[in-house]
Amino acid sequence: MSNYLNNEATASTEIPRNENEVENANQTGLEKPAFDPIKRIEKGFQFFKINEFNKYPDYYRQLAEKQEPKFLMFACSDSRVSPTNILNLRPGEAFMNRNIANLVPAFNKLRYSDIGAIIEYAILALKVEVIVVIGHSRCGGIQRLLSLPDKKTSYDFIDDWVSVAKPAKEKVISKHPHASGEELQTLVEKESVMNSLVNLLSYPYVRTGLADKKLKLIGGYYDFVCGKFEILAVDSDIKPTIDI
């Protein structure tokens, strides 16, 4: 059923990463060598092994024994917003969930066990100190949410998932009835981060952590159009919306 291609990296020469190669791979062009995913993965791992893993053996030996990340981060699956890249994180710093539109749904054992398991493990087993939810510009998930209801196209999963952020959409529209286009989308992207932070409060271990002052919540927003990172909220800025 499966073929094993063993790729233990043994290269001894330093292989510098060519940023232009990445650039070329991302651009469309007329004459482009066929993309070889196996080579790409091999090269990537070799780069890491030579420039990181072999260079800092004590660091990686210690890490192999135990991880003690201070952060739990929620970020979008979008290929452009990896917190490791944009926040220059080191291995061992952040336990991470990546999902469409960096959403944190409220506590629900039936529907959202993936998110629940991450929060439960991060707080109870790893004892992280900070939970960060990072939104970003031009988010496809939020864009889809704004286009709902859509009578023409339907998805099996996407529309249902992004509706986790529906309270954020409704709040923005009621506060900014004349907003539209990119301005509206940015407002909802940011409000969705706040909504996710509020949803975090529905997990008992988050509430206990906050009450014991062992946990901090932070909301962030990465704008890759302008090249900015904004801190939207820290701890006490987070207030649950009151349902009337």
Residues 114-173 within binding reach of other proteins (CB under 8 A): 114-122, 125, 129-130, 132, 137-138, 140-141, 155-158, 160-162
List, in order, residues 6 or more apart from 145 with CB less than 8 Å away: 101, 162, 163, 165, 166, 169, 188
Q: Which of 11, 14, 32, 54 binds other proteins (CB under 8 A)?
A: 54
Q: Which of 14, 32, 41, 207 binds other proteins (CB under 8 A)?
A: 41
Element (H, E) at 184: helix 181-200
- Please state the closest distance from residue 171 (CB atom) to other proteins, in A: 22
Asked if 58 interacts with other proteins (CB under 8 A), we say no
**CA nearest to 221, candidates 77, 72, 79, 86:** 86
Q: Which of 11, 14, 32, 113 binds other proteins (CB under 8 A)?
A: 113
Contacts 24+ apart (CB under 8 A), 224-233: 224/80, 224/81, 224/136, 224/137, 224/138, 225/137, 225/138, 226/137, 229/86, 229/87, 232/135, 232/190, 232/193, 232/194, 233/193, 233/194, 233/197
Cβ 129 vs Cβ 138: under 8 Å: no
- Binding residues for other proteins restricted to 183-242, rule: CB under 8 A: 216, 218, 220, 222, 224-225, 227, 229, 231, 234
User: Quick one: which segment of 5-13, 180-188, 193-201, 236-244 binds other proteins (CB under 8 A)?
Assistant: 5-13
- Please state the closest distance from residue 239 (CB atom) to other proteins, in A: 19
List, in order, residues 6 or more apart from 113 with CB less than 8 Å away: none
Token pair, residue 170, equals 């409704």
- Please state the closest distance from residue 128 (CB atom) to other proteins, in A: 9
Residues in the chain: 244
- Please state the closest distance from residue 147 (CB atom) to other proteins, in A: 13
- Binding residues for other proteins restricted to 67-106, rule: CB under 8 A: 67, 69-71, 77-82, 84-89, 91-100, 103, 105
Q: How many CB atoms lie within 10 A of CB 202?
A: 16
Q: Which of 12, 19, 29, 242 binds other proteins (CB under 8 A)?
A: 19
Nearer to other proteins, 166 or 224 (CB): 224
Nearer to other proteins, 42 or 170 (CB): 42
Q: Which of 37, 149, 177, 181 binds other proteins (CB under 8 A)?
A: 37
Binding residues for other proteins, how many (CB under 8 A)? 102
